[in-house]
Amino acid sequence: MMVSWYNNGLNTDKISIDDRGLQYADGLFETIAIRNGRPRLWELHSDRMQTGCRRLGIQVPDKVNILRSLVGVIEAEDLNENDALLKIIITRGQGNRGYAPPRDANATILFGVYQRSIYTADLYEKGVSVRFCQARMASQPQTAGMKLLCRLDQVRARSEWHDPEIAEGLMLDQDGTVVSGTMSNLFIVDGDELVTPEITHCGVSGVMRQHILALAVAHDLTVRVSRLSPDDVKNADEVFLCNSQFGIWPVSFCGNTRKDDWPLTRKMTSLLRESGVIEGLE
Amino acid sequence: MMVSWYNNGLNTDKISIDDRGLQYADGLFETIAIRNGRPRLWELHSDRMQTGCRRLGIQVPDKVNILRSLVGVIEAEDLNENDALLKIIITRGQGNRGYAPPRDANATILFGVYQRSIYTADLYEKGVSVRFCQARMASQPQTAGMKLLCRLDQVRARSEWHDPEIAEGLMLDQDGTVVSGTMSNLFIVDGDELVTPEITHCGVSGVMRQHILALAVAHDLTVRVSRLSPDDVKNADEVFLCNSQFGIWPVSFCGNTRKDDWPLTRKMTSLLRESGVIEGLE
C-alpha cells in the first residue's frame, strides 16, 4: 500500500521514538476522505480535532494553518482532482520521560496520504455481514467520543476474524450494550425511528454519524440516541453502518439474523447524496 | 535528559510512522532499573512482557534473545558497573492501515537507556505527599494488569498538579475505588495486614508489587488483595508506594491525613534490602 507521510511539514516516514504519541499514546487522529481533491466533512473533522486537543491539553492547532497544511499536502501529492484517504495524527510532541506533559511541548502533526479504499458495489447493494466481537471497549467517560490514538480494543476485536465475507465486527461496552463497529458507527431502524448508541462511556463520535444525525433532524425524521442491547440490533427492522470513508453500508447479516430490505437506510443514503457529501455509491 | 535508543538493534532515535505502536498503541513496555549493570527483577519483567505479547497476539520475543540484546545494550552504553533506567517497548510492528493485525508482522523491539532517576533521601525517610486525582482509569478487565503503551489516563492524571512537593497522584477506577498511583502501585497497612488493590479491571500488575507480595508471603505476613476505597487509604495505619525504580516510598500526607510512623513499611523495605533487590535507600 502506497503511503506518504509528512511530519511537521517534512516529507518523511520517520518520527522520533521520544514522541509521546508512541511513548504514551498521548494524542489523537482523524481519518479523512479526500474526494476530488477536497476533504469531505472537513468542518466536523476539524472541530473534533480541536475539541480533542483542548480536552487533552494538547497544543491546539490553528484551524487555518492546519487547513493550509492539508491543502499543501494535497498539492504536493498531486491530488487536486483525485481521491485519497488522509490520516492526520496529532500528538503532544516530544518530551522527557515521565507522564507529566512538558509545559512547552510543541504538538507533532503528521499527515499520511493513502490510496482511497475501494469497496465493491455489493457491499452497498446487498448489504454487509457483521459479527459480534468478544473484545469489549474500555469504559472511560472522561475521554468518550474522542478519536484517541489508543485503538488497542479495536485491534483486539479485529483480530477475532479472518473471514473476508465479514465486513465489520460490532463491539459491546463493559455493560454488554452495543457501542459501534470496530471502524464504524452503527444505526438501527426501529419502526420509523432512527436509533444510534450513545457515546457516553466509550466509542468514537464519528463525523459521518454526526452528519447523518444532523441530516435526519433537518428532514424531520425521528432520531434517538440510546442504549442498545445486542438483541435490539439483531431484531431491528434495519441496521446500517457508517464511517467517513465508505459512507453507509446496509447490514444484511447480523448475529445470524437476515435483513434484506432497508427503506430508511436507502433514504439516508439518498439524503447523503443530495447533501453533496457522497457521489455514486458513497 | 540523555537518552539512547535502539530500534531492532540499530542505534537510532527514529521509528517508522507506520509502526503500529504509534498508529494504534498496539504494544506494551517495561521500565527496568539497571543497577551495577544488571537488570533488577528481570525475571518478573521478562515474564510480564512474554505474557503481555501472548495475550495481545504479538510475536513473543525469545527470552534468551531479548536478554542477549539487553546485555548488548548495557555493553554498548558502557553500563557494566553503572546504574540506569532501561525502557523496553515492544510493538506489533509495521503494517498496513487498518486494525487487523498483519499475519506476518515482525514485532518492533526498542531499547531506551536513560539516566537513573535520582530521588532525595527525604522521600524515603520522611515519606511523600500524595493527592487523589480526578482522572480515573478506564475499566477494561480484558487487558488489566498489562503494561500497555496506552498511558493516556496516567498522562491526564499527572497533568493535574505542578506542585513539586507532591510526589504522586492516586487514581480511582470507574467505581471510585483506589487502583494505584500514576506510576506506582499502592499498599496500605491495616492492623497487621498488608493490603493492596486488586488489578482486575484496570491498573498495572507492577513487578515491585509482585515481588513485595511474594516476599510478604514468604515471611508469613498477612497479605490481602482487595478493593480499597479512598477512605480506606486515608484512614490506613500506613500507606506506601512502590515501583521498579524507587523501590518503596512511605506516604506521609494522603488526602490531608498525616502519617509519620511506618513500622510495617520499614519492615518491607528491610526485607527488600535483605532479598538483595535494593541497596541503600532503594
pLDDT per residue over A221-273, tens digit each?
999 999 999 999 999 999 999 999 999 999 999 877 888 889 999 999 999 99
Q: What was the pLDDT predicted at B146? A: 98
Contacts of B25 in chain A (CB under 8 A): 25, 149-152
Question: Would you say residue B2 has pLDDT above 80?
Answer: no
How close does chain B come to A59, measured CA to CA in Å? Answer: 14
Written as one string, the DSSP assignment of chain A is --EEEEETTEE-SEEETTBHHHHH--EEEEEEEEETTEETTHHHHHHHHHHHHHHHTPPPPPHHHHHHHHHHHHHHTT-TT--EEEEEEEE--B--SSSSPPTTPPPEEEEEEEPPP---HHHHHT-EEEEE-SS-PPB-TTTTBS-BS--HHHHHHHTT---TTEEEEEEE-TTS-EEEESSSEEEEEETTEEEEE--SSSSB--HHHHHHHHHHHHTT-EEEEE---HHHHHT-SEEEEEETTTEEEEEEEETTEE----HHHHHHHHHHHHTTS--TT-
Q: What was the pLDDT predicted at A228? A: 97
Q: What is the pLDDT of residues B19-77, one digit of tens each?
A: 999 999 999 999 999 999 999 999 999 999 999 999 999 999 999 999 999 999 999 99
> Which CATH architecture is the domain A3-114 placed in?
2-Layer Sandwich (3.30)
State ipTM.
Answer: 0.97
Contact A170, A130 (CB under 8 A): yes
Which residue type sits at B175?
Answer: D
Share of chain B above pLDDT 90, in %: 91
Contacts of B138 in chain A (CB under 8 A): 138-140, 143
Candidates A22, A96, A156: best to mutate against B (most CBs of B within 10 A) is A22
Q: What is the pLDDT of residues A91-121, one digit of tens each?
A: 999 987 899 999 888 999 999 999 998 899 9
Q: Which of B15, B138, B183 sits opposite A14 (nearest CB)?
A: B15
Taking CB atoms and an 8 Å limit, are A155 and B20 in contact across chains?
yes
Contacts of A23 in chain B (CB under 8 A): 89, 149, 151
**For the whole prediction, is pTM greater than 0.95?**
yes
Could you tell me which chain B residue has the CA closest to the CA of A149?
B24
- Residue with the bigger pLDDT between B110 and B2: it is B110
Give Rg (Cα) of chain A. Answer: 19
Taking CB atoms and an 8 Å limit, are B22 and A56 in contact across chains?
no
The DSSP bridge partners found for residue B6 are B11, B111
Q: What is the pLDDT of residues A182-206, one digit of tens each?
A: 999 999 999 999 999 999 999 999 9
Place of cell 531506551: B112
How close does chain A come to B213, measured CA to CA in Å? Answer: 26
Sorted by sequence, the CB contacts under 8 Å of residue B252 that are 6+ apart come out as B126, B127, B128, B129, B258, B259, B260
Q: What was the pLDDT predicted at A1? A: 54
Contacts of B24 in chain A (CB under 8 A): 149-152, 154-155
- Please report, for chain A, the start and end positions of each structural domain, with discontinuous segments joined by +: 3-114, 121-274
Q: What was the pLDDT predicted at B1? A: 54
- Residue with the bigger pLDDT between A190 and A278: it is A190
Q: What is the pLDDT of residues A71-86, one digit of tens each?
A: 999 999 999 999 999 9
Q: What was the pLDDT predicted at A255? A: 79
Taking CB atoms and an 8 Å limit, are A25 and B25 in contact across chains?
yes
How close does chain B come to A193, measured CA to CA in Å? Answer: 31
Arithmetic mean of pLDDT, A149-174: 97
**Grid cell listed for A123:** 457491499
Measured between alpha carbons, how far is residue B58 from residues B21, B49, B210 in Å? 11, 10, 24
Contacts of B87 in chain A (CB under 8 A): 97
How close does chain A come to B152, measured CA to CA in Å? Answer: 6
Arithmetic mean of pLDDT, B151-168: 97
The average confidence (pLDDT) of chain A is: 95
Taking CB atoms and an 8 Å limit, are A22 and B21 in contact across chains?
yes
Q: What is the pLDDT of residues B218-265, one digit of tens each?
A: 999 999 999 999 999 999 999 999 999 999 999 999 877 888 889 999
Candidates B1, B18, B94, B152: best to mutate against A (most CBs of A within 10 A) is B152
Question: Would you say residue B278 has pLDDT above 90?
Answer: no
Candidates A155, A158, A174: best to mutate against B (most CBs of B within 10 A) is A155
Taking CB atoms and an 8 Å limit, are A22 and B19 in contact across chains?
yes
Alpha-carbon distance B217 to A79, whole Å? 65
The DSSP bridge partners found for residue B115 are none
Burial degree of A107 (CB within 10 A; 0-12, 13-18, 19+)? middle
Share of chain A above pLDDT 90, in %: 91
Candidates B150, B180, B204: best to mutate against A (most CBs of A within 10 A) is B150
Q: Tell me, which fold does domain A121-274 have in CATH?
A: D-amino Acid Aminotransferase; Chain A, domain 2 (3.20.10)
